[in-house]
Amino acid sequence: MEKTKKTAAADTLATAIARAVRPDPAVLVDQWAEANRILPPDTPEPGPYRSSRTPYLIDIQRAMSPGSPWREGWFQKGHQIGGSVSGENMIGAWVSTAAGSLLVVFPTIDDAKQWEISRFEPMRSGTAALRRRIRPANEKGADNTKLRKRYPGGVMRLVGSNRVGALKSATIRYVKFEEPDEYPPDLADQGNPIALAKARTANFGRKAKIYGDGTPTIEGASAIATQFARGDQRRWHLVCPDCAHPQHLRWEQLKWTDADPATARYACEECGTLNAEAAWKARNYATRPKACTEEAAATAGLAHWVATATGEPGVASWHINALAAPIGWRPWPGLVQEWLAAQGNEEALKTFYNNNLGQPYALKLGTEVGAEALQQRAERYPLMTVPAGGLVLVAGVDTQDNRLAIVIRAFGRGEESWGVWHGEIYGDTSQPEVWGKLRDLLDAPVRHANGQVMRIDAAGIDSGGHRTEDVYAFCRDAKLRGRNWFAIKGARAYDSPKLGRPRAVEFTWRGVAVPGGVELRHVGTQAIKNLIDGRLKLTKPGGGMYHFPLGFEADYYRQLRAERRQRKRDSAGRSWLWWVKGTERNEAWDCEVYAYAALLYAISGQHADQVWAKREQLFGRVQQIDLLDPDATIVAAIQAKTAQPVADAPPSDELPFEDLTNAPTLDAALKRRRVPPRPRRGGFVMGWR
């Protein structure tokens, strides 16, 4: 059936045209793999590919199928859980069922060559559907090389991450990123390899598929963790063999006795019952019915994915660790043994976090920037004024019994940010007066450097202390007036998402049950603290940098740096680097954490780049002022003379307050017994088929 070269070329063109006008066949990557792939002997499960062995790879492959509405997928994972097979399946299914050009990005060109020899060529020669379409590189007239493969409808290129910029004119439908944490962060003046490769897919809109998988490295500098955070952060849930509560397996729940790995049992986060690996996995990993959705799997008591965040539109993300590997792959006693051996050895611990837990590792203790160094970086711009680059204005409020502490901060492109106001409102927070003042402050218009007026886009209010009901009432009241002021609570787990999904909470206010309750968000305080701590080290204006105005007093900086990271051990002898409160006050630090959560809230469900672009149109694209020119740099001596005292609130006679006399309030609503709409609950990953 060998065609002449000429017909083959004509055929290729005809196929390409036909493909362009025809909708994609409804092929699912996992089903294509089951029908076509035989795994080579050096993989954990050689032989015909079976989804049932690794049910967590099904959702990932479906989301990245040619006809799926998801455009991007990011899989943050440890080693040896079969993850690379799903990426190969995607490449095979893309090439043979809905062809378009494909780019595979590796850390280096040597990695690309190695992958071609050890993974791609065995897949090609062992899969009839691919053999038919891609001729071997060494065949005469095939016009294929090790790094460029032609097939009907497109061409696959394998590149090193430092060479992505060389593909200037290439238009690509599919991109696969391998181990993005090993890429260079920036190509000289060209941006990072991920952004460059993604830009090539712009013409394909939703039909493009961008997929990356990898193991994270260092906290705050991990590319895969950054991409994971952009998505809906799906976590693999197993149901407890005793109480059927679904949960994602976390290392701190694994228990053992007398340093004996053989005693390893997992404690259910709901009922506390200890069960061995076999008990957890026997039921959860029973074979799924054909075409089973994640929701159906959950209903049937099987392991399943649950999205834990909203994420940018079209961006799916998954995280899994070695505890969830199929039985026999990564036995729990072996993991405990590795853990025990790694104690006291920073490098071994990092390897354990990265390769087994699929988590970035937080850098050593004692690397924090001090309060004085931060204050010396303060810049000359007035309080309650947003410098030119600030585009989204947010606030974080820490609730104490006798005062509220507030930080107002403006964020711009790359999440560069400027402190706008910090201060306290004193008074008994169980009384309405204090909350009335907070309401006035958060409603106050704020001047932008270009002369326009901004309003606070979102505010996160801490509901964790003794004033939970007051915070709920304040936020519910604000909702009636269309304000995005929301109640937050610090999440307990170290690896909680920075901003959790909305949760409806019932509460009573002055003896009356509030219809619909209030929307509460859990905040991953440890993750946000690690992020901000990393950003405080930045001294060059640009993405991530924290700027402070001269008007922030020494107290603010002391509070910002009041916590230290400590290795905390639990009863089983395991340790984590937690941010821990000392005896000093730390409200400013908490406020900054809540303000960052408010930023995530304000831009949630939107592409960050589009948010910045939209706001830049509103505020005019202003030339960035160099705030760090020698004239503006302030040493402590000058600062002592020029710093303005921080007022309790901005002077109200100078700012045109909105007249809120007739605005709806919670009290009035309760009197009228009107039932406001119920906040949306978080839930399962919706099957899209």
* Binding positions for Zn ion, rule: CB under 5 A: 240, 242-243, 245, 268, 270-271
Distances (CA, A) of 89 to 30, 109, 134: 7, 22, 15
Considering beta carbons, is residue 93 or 240 the nearer one to Zn ion? 240
Q: How far is the CB of 271 from Zn ion (least distance, A)?
A: 3
238/407 with CB nearer Zn ion? 238
To the nearest whole angstrom, how small is the minimum distance from the Cβ of residue 70 to Zn ion? 32
Closer by beta carbon to Zn ion, 242 or else 338: 242
Cβ of residue 246: shortest distance to Zn ion, in angstroms? 10
Q: Which lies closer to Zn ion via its Cβ, residue 242 or residue 667?
A: 242
- What are the helix and strand counts (H, E) for the chain? 22, 30
* Residue 455, number of CB atoms within 10 A of its CB: 12
Instruction: Judge contact between 419 and 646, C-beta under 8 A.
Output: no
Report the Cα 645 to chain-centroid distance in Å.
38
Q: Give whichever of 15 and 275 is closer to Zn ion, judged by the CB atom.
A: 275
The distance of Cα 351 from the centroid of its chain, to the nearest Å, equals: 21
Element (DSSP H or E) covering residue 556: helix 554-560
Closer CB to Zn ion, residue 268 or residue 598? 268
To Zn ion, the closest distance from the beta carbon of 243 in angstroms equals 3
Name the residue nearer to Zn ion (CB basis): 492 or 678.
492
d(CA 449, CA 53): 58
Burial of 456 by CB count in 10 Å (0-12 exposed, 13-18 middle, 19+ buried)? buried
When the beta carbons of 273 and 484 are compared against Zn ion, the nearer one is: 273
CB of 278 to Zn ion, least distance (A): 16
Residue 283 tokens, joined: 């039921």
Judge whether 179 and 115 are in contact, CB under 8 Å: no
The CA distance from 491 to 564, in Å, is 19
DSSP β-bridge partners for residue 315: 72
Least Å distance, CB 56 to Zn ion, is 20
- Looking at beta carbons only, is 279 or 371 nearer to Zn ion? 279
To Zn ion, the closest distance from the beta carbon of 280 in angstroms equals: 10
Q: Which is nearer to Zn ion, 265 or 564 (CB)?
A: 265
At 672, list the tokens.
């009228």
State in angstroms the smallest separation of the CB of 46 from Zn ion. 36
For residue 62, give every residue at least 6 positions away whose Cβ sits within 8 Å of its Cβ, in sequence order, or none: 28, 29, 30, 68, 688, 689
**C-alpha dihedral, 295 to 178 to 91 to 169, nearest 10°:** 120
Q: How far apart are CA 385 and CA 607, in angstroms?
A: 26
Q: How far is the CB of 296 from Zn ion (least distance, A)?
A: 22
Min CB(286)–Zn ion separation in Å: 18
Cβ burial, residue 64 (10 Å; 0-12/13-18/19+): buried
Classified as helix, coil or strand, 431 is: coil
Taking the C-alpha atoms of residue 374 and residue 377, their distance in angstroms, rounded to an integer, is: 5
CA distance 198 to 214: 17
Find, among 309, 230, 326, 223, the residue nearest to 521 by Cα.
309
